[in-house]
Amino acid sequence: MNVDAYLRRIGLAGPAPLRELHRAHQAAVPFENLSIHLGEPISLATDDLVDKVVRRRRGGFCYELNGLFALLLEELGHTVTRVGARVHDGTRFGPPFDHLALLVSEPDGGGPWLADVGFGRHSSYPLRLDERGEQVDPGGTFRLADADGGDVDVLLDGTPQYRIERKPRALADFAPTCWWQQTWPESHFRKGPVCARLDGEGRITLSGRKLIRTSGTERTEVVLDSDEEVLAAYEEHFGIVLATVPKG
């Protein structure tokens, strides 16, 4: 991996503290599922991830973004444990490996932290893994709670987001679920194209043809009528240049 090129991709001139890396990554690299709606295969091989995110300046979903971010952190001297998580759908937790999150210790021994640059709306900064009180973040008020079997629940404004399994995993362990998320007709990633990133203290999202800006409790929404407007929005707001509009 070309660390300098990766750091430039996220808008940094050189190595930075974990907190700064975490926020910069989410501001520069969008959470997006466009490959699924463009008919592009998703690969978790390191060279393919670097090519997509760093060289072609695209984004990705959790397995891609957290998978690649873990490699950057390790290159910078952090200790990283890749862990599976089960996403809460509002009713119950999903299957194992539904999400990939990172447990990180800093080179100077600081941490451990929960780092996650691949969940869409989440914390701007890493969350303290061993803290059980409220952790206030620009993204909301987070709380980590102990669950059965040593698992840890992540809650945002009192609502469960996902349950972390503490067992260390390799990125390859997530390949079957990554394929399943791409191909299962009921996968929420197949419902429609979405692309989102941090934008100042809020977020900007292109969901289908809707360009959405959120900041705190404020939300604005604009419908883009033409393909040309959609393609221009991808380029202007996310730096993504596409030849065709993602289907869905």
Residues 103, 114 contacting (CB under 8 angstroms) = yes
Is residue 99 flagged as an active site residue? yes
Residues 6+ apart with CB under 8 A from 10: 21, 24, 25, 27, 28, 29
Angle separating helix axes 18-28 and 62-75, nearest 10 degrees: 140
Per the listing, tokens 């869409």 go with 120
Count the neighbouring beta carbons within 10 Å of the beta carbon of residue 35: 21
Nearest C-alpha neighbor of 142 from the set 211, 132, 212: 132
Is residue 225 flagged as an active site residue? no
Is residue 37 flagged as an active site residue? no
25, 37, 88, 99: which one is catalytic?
99
What kind and span of H or E run contains 95? none
25, 37, 78, 116: which one is catalytic?
116
25, 62, 122, 153: which one is catalytic?
62
Nearest C-alpha neighbor of 126 from the set 142, 146, 107: 142
Distances (CA, A) of 61 to 66, 136, 139, 183: 8, 25, 18, 14
Strand order from edge to edge, sheet including 218-223: 31-32, 194-199, 202-207, 210-215, 218-223
- List, by residue number, the catalytic residues: 62, 99, 116
